[in-house]
Each structure stands twice: as C-alpha cells, then as structure tokens.
Amino acid sequence: MSKITRGDRDLIRSINRSLILNVIKTQGEVSRAAIAHQTGLSPATVTAITGQLIQEDLIFEKTTGDSTGGRPPIILALNPRGGFVIGVKLMENHAVAALTDLNATVLEKEMVDFSEERVEVVVEELVMLATRLIHQGGIKKKQLLGVGLGLAGVVDSSRGILRQSPFFGWKDTPLRDLLQAKLRVPVYIDNDVNTLTLGEKWLGNGLPVDDFIVITVGRGIGMGIVINGQIYRGKGGGAGEFGHVVVDPEGPLCDCGKHGCLESYLSDQAILATAQKEVDAGIQDLGQLLVLAQAGNHAAAMVLTRAGRLLGQEIANVVNILDPRLILISGEGVRMGDIFFSALRASFKQHVMPGLAEDTEIRVIPWGDDVWARAAASVVIGELFNSPMQKEEVR
C-alpha cells in the first residue's frame, strides 16, 4: 500500500477541522465527546483539533455540561469575536460596508460616494473605507479574516474576476486581486445576490435546507441557487440572471439591451413607470403607490396585483425546473406588501406543476439597510466552514 504523503495528511486534517467547526456552529454548544460521536472522529483527533481552534480563538470552553456520571463534560462554543470580517455592497455610485463578528453581527457601518467610476479610483476609495472600519471598530489588522465584496453583474468568484458590470461598464476586471494587493488580507468577490444567498445558507433561513432559491426584487431582479447544499454559479458565474428571462420578445426595452425581460416589467423603475402611466403621473416612488393601493385606489392595486401575478408565474417556472424546498424573497421590493404578495402566491399555485407546490415554501425576508453588507461579510465567514474539498471543486 502506498504511503500517505504529508500533503494528504494536511488535507485530511483540514477536512476534519471543517467537520468539527461545522458541528460546533450547528449545535451552538457541544462537548468533545458529542463531536466525536457525530463526526466519527477519534477522541484524540477531536481533542487535538479543538485545542488548536481554542489557540486560534475561534472557539472557547464555555461552561460545564450536565454529567451522566463521572467527570462533567466541558462544553465548546464558537467565539463570535475570534475574528472579524468586512462586507461591502458595491452599488451604482456608492458602497455600503459593515464590520461584523463571526455571527455577522454588525459592529460598525460606513458608506462612501465614489468620486469617479474608474476602477483604480473605486478600488482606492474601497480600501480607505475598509481602513476606516478597522479603526472605528478598534480591532487590529491581524484580527481581520478577510473582506467580502458583493456587486451586480457576472462575477467569476473562483478567479476573482468581474466579467461584466451593468453599472460601471467594467469588463474582465481582476477586482479581487486589485483589492487584495492593497488591503493585504484575503478578498472574496461574488454577485451580490449570491452573497445574499450564502448569508442565508451559513447564518440564516437556509441553514437547515439543502435546496433553496433566493429571489431579490428591487433595482433589478436576481436569483441565488443552492442545490445539495452548494451554491450553483454556472460555468463562469452567470447563473441566476432571473431578471433576464424573456417574458415577451416584443416587450419593453430592458437595461441589458434586449426586449421583454422580466426585469423590464418588475424592477422598481418599471413598476413606477407603469404606475405613473396608469394611476397618477405625479407618483414619485413605490411608497406612494403602496399608500394609494392600501387606501382603496383600484388602479394602484391593479399595478401591484399584475406585478405580483407575473413574478408568481415565473417563480412557478423555476420550481417546475429545480424543485427547491424553499423560496426566499428578499430585496428592497419586499415593501410592496400584501396586495403584491397575495397575487404572487395565488399565481404561483395556479402555474406550478401539480404535486410540486405542497412541500415548497415561499418565505418573504424582512429587509434592512445593512442586509447586503452583512451578506457580503458572510462570504468570508463561510470560508471558515467550507470543506477543503468544496474549495478544491470551486478552483
């Protein structure tokens, strides 16, 4: 039998480390004996790896558990302040960033308006933004485990390349390497909806679910896909462009240059334009439309109802193809309220394949200003728990 090389032993140890960290994260509080039982690892291996994790400050010995006879077990728990991460949401002309602990609890928030759209200028201003957060959070640079960046567009996350940006016009930009060279910490970039999806997978609603979809409604329409517990990005990072499913090739012009995309009907600007035309030319934002609809304005209610029906129909198509257990709807558009979502659910039930709707849940996630930045931070946090085998598959 051939010898196990040093590299193989290191890989096995890394896999075991990931197993142990995931058990501790999932259980919250757990003894070494319980970890050994759940992972199948030997007590000696568990003791060695947890000892290293304690030294790294990622976990700590918390309290003494209940004894069933003999010495009471020592309980281990994840240390939320064993490291810190920064999440950045890059938008059309500004960025929002947050410094978080390992539970993605926001400790500090900052924003920057970009003075220019040239990539060199934006990178420099993002570096200054991260530096301010480190200073305001009172942490040392060595405590920063990494920076996660989420942005709209086609992103090759494994190579750190922004393939195409709908806002800045950048193409094939090595954004990760540009930031990493200046920040001198690991940087991870991904499509913003994928970062939101990863946040739900590691720390949110998707934690116990292996197959789920995240759909965002707002400035655009996006989708994140998790299959068998792994996010699906496609061959080059372009999977999930739900907003560019064609509803009608003769339909309105979309920002992508095509006609009749879902986004050309359901983005905030598209719904607002419809409301201005069919309800009142003086409507300035969706909040006004919602107030009119809730006050009994039939035309306003119909704008929201038609939008909800269309999204429900397209979600049914997604379920007919992928059969996920959970659909999470997020983004600024969740404020459109009961009229919109009642129409969505009714349309979904009408159009989904019989037998697929019964065990598929549609859940609307409450929205807040810091959600995008927390989601980007969770990309870095997820790297702590990802198996080395999964990382190798991505590479």
**pLDDT tens readout for residues 347-375:** 999 999 988 888 899 999 888 767 888 88
The 3-state DSSP class for residue 94 equals strand
**pLDDT tens readout for residues 192-242:** 999 999 888 877 777 688 899 999 999 889 999 999 988 998 888 888 999
**CB atoms near residue 269 (< 10 Å):** 14
What type of residue is 316? A
Percentage of the chain exceeding pLDDT 70: 93
- From CA 213, how far away is CA 364, in angstroms rounded? 12
Q: Which pLDDT belongs to residue 199? A: 87
User: What band does 66 get if pLDDT is binned at 50, 70 and 90?
Assistant: low
Six-digit token pair at 271? 């719904």
* Whole-number average pLDDT of the chain: 88
Range with lowest mean pLDDT among 60-64, 223-227, 252-256: 60-64
- Ramachandran region of residue 29, left (φ > 0), alpha (ψ -120 to 50) or beta? beta
Q: Which pLDDT belongs to residue 109? A: 92
Q: Is the pLDDT of residue 7 over 70?
A: no
Q: Which pLDDT belongs to residue 6? A: 52
DSSP-assigned letters across all residues of 149-181: EEESSEEETTTTEEEE-TTT--EEE-HHHHHHH
User: What band does 388 get if pLDDT is binned at 50, 70 and 90?
Assistant: low
Closest CA to 380 of 204, 147, 190: 147
Closest CA to 350 of 312, 303, 304: 312
Q: Is the pLDDT of residue 385 over 90?
A: no
Closest CA to 83 of 380, 386, 388, 387: 380
- Yes or no: say if 299 and 310 are a contact pair by the CB < 8 Å rule: no
Query: What is the mean pLDDT of the segment spanning 56-79?
Result: 76
- From CA 303, how far away is CA 301, in angstroms rounded? 5
Where do the domains of the chain lie, and which CATH numbers do they carry?
Answer: 6-78 (1.10.10.10), 84-198+372-394 (3.30.420.40), 206-364 (3.30.420.40)
CA 314 to chain centre: 21
- From CA 330, how far away is CA 306, in angstroms rounded? 19
Q: Which pLDDT belongs to residue 390? A: 57
**pLDDT tens readout for residues 143-160:** 999 999 999 889 999 899
Query: pTM to 2 decimals?
Result: 0.84
**pLDDT tens readout for residues 167-201:** 888 999 999 999 999 999 999 999 999 999 988 88
